[in-house]
A and B are shown apart, each in its own frame.
Chain A
Amino acid sequence: MMKKYTIFFYLISMITSVIAKDNGILNPQMYNVWTIEEPALKIMVQEEIEYYVGANPEDSMRQISYNDKVIIIESKKNPGNIFEVRYGSSGDYQSIDEKQVKWVLPKNLRSEIIGNPQKKYFYVSDDSYIRDVQNSLEREYFSNQFHWTGTDLYISSGSKSIIDRFIFRPRTLGGMSINASNAFSIKVGDELLGYPAGSKGNMNFGLLSPYYEMGIQTPIMEALADDNLSRVILEEGISNSYLHGGIGGYGKVRLYQFHLQLGFAEMGENMFVKPNVIDSAFVDYLSLSVFAGYDFNFEKPFLRLGYFKAMLGYGFYQISHKSLTSDNQYVERFLKRNGETLAESITTFSSPMIRLDFITPIKQSSAPLLHLFTQVNPYKGNRSWQAGAGINIRSFGIDVTYKHSVDDVDWAPRDELFLSINYSY
């Protein structure tokens, strides 16, 4: 059986493989390679490249953008000197050779970047940029996965609101070019917390950048009346199990590989909230959630089939239980749907989370042909696991996520399936 799967994956990788570009590939034994991650230092380098490219249009170098990786290559034969600087993203890198580097970057900045005897800024050693230029695409895909975007437009349809994920990164404003460091974001659900797509009840509207995300939470704006084909309940644990949505806020920041997100919501008099209450007797909603995660990126390909990334995290959230009375007031509720008594009107869950992602090699597009993942959220009293797959062809993709709830809760069916289609540009 295992053999069949291995052959299957191998065939997929063969189908999607193209010959790697010779350009840019160097012997990793002979070079030290790293990316500058210190935002401040990166800005200094960007400013000098901007000036040089602007002053020398005949060199046909492309202008650096805020989101570009800045890759430093030092030859082990000639330590203490920058052999090459590359900048760009998604496998499309502009190279500045040793001679040009002296023209582009000032002497002391070069010295600080090389960092003799040691670098005193945040950087990530990564020879994949010279070992296999294509490999950086996978790294970038994983790096952006929950935090940023590799394209200017990403739109995914798969919830009652029609849109379950939307990212728009403008490059011009009123005809003027702007630094594409921020994007508008809409998101339904919180997969890492254990509530993918519409199962969370809330949708987020906000600003997104590689370092932060911030905005407001609202109930899912229903654009589809009744039939929500994107959410298929395979086995209903307790009838009518779902989370309501409230009004609140959310924020997320990254501290290098670590990220932390916070969300909160309240049911209230808001015009968006009350019309979305389906069952006034049992109003359960996610009133507070905190999630922290740390990415482990496995750099080496797995049997040439693809790449793995693991995430370890810790989730904490509270479900508030309320009822909407006939005089339009929310009151705390201490009863479950099955008549059992709740100890408190707020139930708290917390547990570690583990997730594993696998993607096939990314070639010319911004997404892999196949993306598989599995995730476990063993909250005591609300254990669940998810598995999912995504297939992307050129700019289009389709995603399927299966969620199984081990424990019966009022707000989640036992088995459910989420479907979505996406387009990126």
Chain B
Amino acid sequence: MSPKNKNLKKDFTHYNKSKSITMNKKNRSYVDNVKVALLMIFCQSFILSQQKSWRCIDKNFQEKLIGPYVDILFDDDPDVENDFVPSEDDGLVIKLKGGDVDAIYSITGKSGRQLSLRMDIYDRLDQEIKEKLLKRKYEWDHIDPDVVKFRTRGRNVFEYSDHKAIRDYSWWIRNQLTVNPFLHTYTLRPAPGVYSLTFKQGDEEIGYSTKLSRNSRLIIATEPTKVFLNIPWKPKGISYGDVHPLERTAGGGVSFDMEKLGGMISYNRIGKLNYSDAFDPEHIVYNDWTGIIYWNRSFSLDMSGDPENSKGFKRRNPWLPKGTQRIIAGVTYAKLVYGQIDSTNNFTQLELSDFAKSFSVLLNWTFVSQPARFGGYNDYSKLKGNIQVHYGGENSRFNMGFLRSINSSLAFGLNIGWAGSITFLEGQDDQYVWEPGFVVSPNFTWRF
């Protein structure tokens, strides 16, 4: 990115921030900070997402706007300093808020000097030129052209609808190869990134992450869809906790994740599980089938303040860096089978979970910090965090995790999973309370 573009981006960042911070820092208590943070998460980011900006690269149009602007400027203030007078050769950056022009900057070609045009002068310009500015009937480009170039390499163009930047981190990866030996998860996404292949452990989609499930999954993914096989391979990830996991099964499924809707359906069978291979042959619980449907929405998140608008005050240190957050809300139906296997490897089904034991409400919040670029078109974020809750009458689950990047290649983090107990054969002599347990899994990631 050229220094000019960097400056320009910085300037815009400051501008955005100045719009969002209005409170007097001296009087702000800790509680207020939390309130503001929450308000920003759910409101400010939405407002920011409504903003639109671009740069005009049409010399003729620039002259048509800047010429009359300078005339009115001199009428208004004949002694105006040269530094506040744009040149007709200057580039123009236009920033909208809602449907109206919020700010216009003129950029001097060689020096990259940025000048914010006075909006009171702009308002006095001829209506026709103002309309044409909004109609965008001239050649234009994004403010940071590199963003477009980078994003379209089959990787991240959804970013423009505030969706894909964060979706990628859950759906697949934003680089060519990621290795998580502790979680036993490996993803390959060869350039140009149209397909990916993932091997992973656990059933985190239904809340039984890492060692809470003995399943492994092989996934082929495209931008909107996935096909996967569930493989009854013995889990090899490293995690700690006292668990009674979902038993391993063979099966498969499909899933999709679009702009607003996502979902998954999978089907499993206990198959040819051997008595000696079972975690607890007397008390086996496995996932028979799963259906998930969810709504999702993504927002940009910027919790830092702007010192320029709060003179004398230091910039607040936000508890989350600038990035993108995503909220998922949906329902999950995970049918469970409880049974036992005898020494001749015959599985006997004792109970099939009913609605209360299968149905749960799904809520997920994910955050990734603004990505940085490495290795040509690869992409990584310094911080990723997620919280997922499955809330059901008799089958609640909770998962959370974070991943902190040391540099573009290495990251470490921690995942926590907990699943509540479910009672099978309730009220009968052989009643059994299944307690999946609590698990802590370190995460160590290599990116290539």
Q: Is B225 a contact of A211 with CB atoms below 8 Å?
A: yes
Give A214 to B226 CA distance when docked, in angstroms: 13
Partner-contacting stretch, out of A252-260, A293-301, A357-365: A252-260
Q: Is B157 a contact of A41 with CB atoms below 8 Å?
A: yes
28 A-B residue pairs with Cβ-Cβ distance under 8 Å, sorted by A, are A38-B157, A38-B194, A40-B152, A40-B158, A43-B158, A43-B259, A44-B152, A103-B140, A106-B141, A107-B140, A109-B142, A109-B148, A109-B152, A182-B261, A211-B224, A212-B258, A214-B254, A214-B265, A250-B265, A251-B255, A253-B225, A253-B226, A253-B227, A253-B255, A260-B227, A262-B266, A264-B267, A288-B267
Chain B residue contacts of A256, Cβ below 8 A: 222
Q: Is A211 a contact of B139 with CB atoms below 8 Å?
A: no
- B157's contact among A44, A260, A261, by CB below 8 Å, is which? A44
* Given A106-B142, A121-B154, A249-B289, also A39-B223 (CB < 8 A): yes
Q: Is A56 a contact of B224 with CB atoms below 8 Å?
A: no
Chain B residue contacts of A240, Cβ below 8 A: none
Encode contact with A along B219-263: 1 for CB under 8 Å, 0 otherwise. 010111111000000000000000000000000111110110101
Give A236 to B353 CA distance when docked, in angstroms: 40
CB A232 to nearest CB in B, in angstroms, measures: 34
Q: Does A423 sit within 8 A of B, measured CB to CB?
A: no
Give A120 to B145 CA distance when docked, in angstroms: 17
Number of B interface residues in the complex (CB < 8 A): 54
Give A107 to B252 CA distance when docked, in angstroms: 44
8 Å CB contacts to A: which residues of B156-192? Answer: 156-158, 160-161, 164, 191-192
Give A252 to B264 CA distance when docked, in angstroms: 10
Q: Does B57 sit within 8 A of A, measured CB to CB?
A: yes
Chain A residue contacts of B23, Cβ below 8 A: none
Partner-contacting stretch, out of B25-33, B109-117, B130-138: B130-138
Chain B interface mostly: mixed
* Given A43-B160, A107-B57, A211-B258, also A264-B289 (CB < 8 A): yes
Q: Does B291 sit within 8 A of A, measured CB to CB?
A: yes
CB A295 to nearest CB in B, in angstroms, measures: 16
8 Å CB contacts to B: which residues of A75-127? Answer: 102-103, 106-109, 111-112, 120-122
Q: Does A51 sit within 8 A of B, measured CB to CB?
A: yes
Q: Is A255 a contact of B164 with CB atoms below 8 Å?
A: no
Q: Does A15 sit within 8 A of B, measured CB to CB?
A: no
Chain A residue contacts of B146, Cβ below 8 A: 108
Q: Is A120 a contact of B140 with CB atoms below 8 Å?
A: no
Chain A residue contacts of B223, Cβ below 8 A: 38-40
Q: Is A111 a contact of B226 with CB atoms below 8 Å?
A: no
Q: Does A320 sit within 8 A of B, measured CB to CB?
A: no
Q: Does A52 sit within 8 A of B, measured CB to CB?
A: yes
Chain B residue contacts of A264, Cβ below 8 A: 267, 289
Q: Is A262 a contact of B265 with CB atoms below 8 Å?
A: yes
Give A52 to B164 CA distance when docked, in angstroms: 23
Q: Is A112 a contact of B152 with CB atoms below 8 Å?
A: yes
Give A236 to B267 CA distance when docked, in angstroms: 34
Q: Does B410 sit within 8 A of A, measured CB to CB?
A: no
Tell me the nearest residue of chain B to A42, going by C-beta.
Answer: B157
Q: Does A311 sit within 8 A of B, measured CB to CB?
A: no
Q: Is A251 a contact of B253 with CB atoms below 8 Å?
A: yes
Q: Is A255 a contact of B225 with CB atoms below 8 Å?
A: yes
Q: Is A120 a contact of B154 with CB atoms below 8 Å?
A: yes
Chain B residue contacts of A214, Cβ below 8 A: 254, 256, 263, 265, 291, 293
Tell me the nearest residue of chain B to A103, going by C-beta.
Answer: B137
Q: Does A222 sit within 8 A of B, measured CB to CB?
A: no
CB B241 to nearest CB in A, in angstroms, measures: 31
Q: Is A212 a contact of B152 with CB atoms below 8 Å?
A: no
Q: Is B220 a contact of A112 with CB atoms below 8 Å?
A: no
* Given A43-B259, A212-B225, also A253-B254 (CB < 8 A): yes
- B134's contact among A38, A55, A181, by CB below 8 Å, is which? A55
Q: Is A121 a contact of B160 with CB atoms below 8 Å?
A: no
Tell me the nearest residue of chain B to A318, going by C-beta.
Answer: B269
Q: Is A108 a contact of B149 with CB atoms below 8 Å?
A: yes
CB B295 to nearest CB in A, in angstroms, measures: 12
Tell me the nearest residue of chain B to A101, going by C-beta.
Answer: B139
Chain A residue contacts of B252, Cβ below 8 A: 262, 290
Tell me the nearest residue of chain B to A109, going by C-beta.
Answer: B148
Tell me the nearest residue of chain B to A111, going by C-beta.
Answer: B149
Give A216 to B223 CA distance when docked, in angstroms: 24
CB A268 to nearest CB in B, in angstroms, measures: 8
CB A99 to nearest CB in B, in angstroms, measures: 10
Chain A residue contacts of B192, Cβ below 8 A: 120-121
Chain B residue contacts of A237, Cβ below 8 A: none
Give A55 to B134 CA distance when docked, in angstroms: 7
| Those 7 A-B pairs whose CB atoms lie nearest each other, nearest first | A251-B265, A253-B225, A40-B157, A212-B256, A107-B141, A108-B145, A112-B152
Encode contact with A along B192-226: 1 for CB under 8 Å, 0 otherwise. 10110000000000000000000000001011111
Tell me the nearest residue of chain A to B159, going by C-beta.
Answer: A40
Chain B residue contacts of A262, Cβ below 8 A: 252-254, 265-267
Q: Is A108 a contact of B141 with CB atoms below 8 Å?
A: yes
Q: Does A47 sit within 8 A of B, measured CB to CB?
A: yes
Tell me the nearest residue of chain A to B288, going by C-beta.
Answer: A266
Give A250 to B149 CA distance when docked, in angstroms: 39
Tell me the nearest residue of chain A to B264, going by C-beta.
Answer: A251
Q: Does A209 sit within 8 A of B, measured CB to CB?
A: yes
Chain A residue contacts of B275, Cβ below 8 A: none
- A47's contact among B135, B161, B253, by CB below 8 Å, is which? B161
Chain B residue contacts of A207, Cβ below 8 A: 261, 263, 293
Chain A residue contacts of B158, Cβ below 8 A: 39-40, 43
Q: Does B12 sit within 8 A of A, measured CB to CB?
A: no
- Counting chain A CB atoms within 10 Å of each CB, the highest count among B52, B153, B157 belongs to B157
Q: Is B224 a contact of A39 with CB atoms below 8 Å?
A: yes
Give A156 to B429 CA distance when docked, in angstroms: 53
Tell me the nearest residue of chain B to A122, going by C-beta.
Answer: B194
CB A345 to nearest CB in B, in angstroms, measures: 13
- A40's contact among B135, B164, B220, B263, by CB below 8 Å, is which? B164
* Given A103-B140, A107-B141, also A41-B152 (CB < 8 A): yes
Q: Does B434 sit within 8 A of A, measured CB to CB?
A: no
Q: Is A106 a contact of B54 with CB atoms below 8 Å?
A: yes
- A107's contact among B135, B137, B145, B267, by CB below 8 Å, is which? B145
* Given A40-B156, A106-B140, also A212-B148 (CB < 8 A): no
Q: Is A120 a contact of B265 with CB atoms below 8 Å?
A: no
Encode contact with B along A49-90: 1 for CB under 8 Å, 0 otherwise. 001100110000000000000000000000000000000000
Known: A120-B154, A212-B258, A253-B227. 18 other contacts (CB 8 A): A39-B258, A40-B164, A43-B161, A43-B259, A56-B137, A107-B141, A108-B141, A108-B142, A108-B149, A112-B148, A120-B191, A211-B256, A212-B224, A251-B265, A253-B225, A262-B252, A264-B267, A288-B267
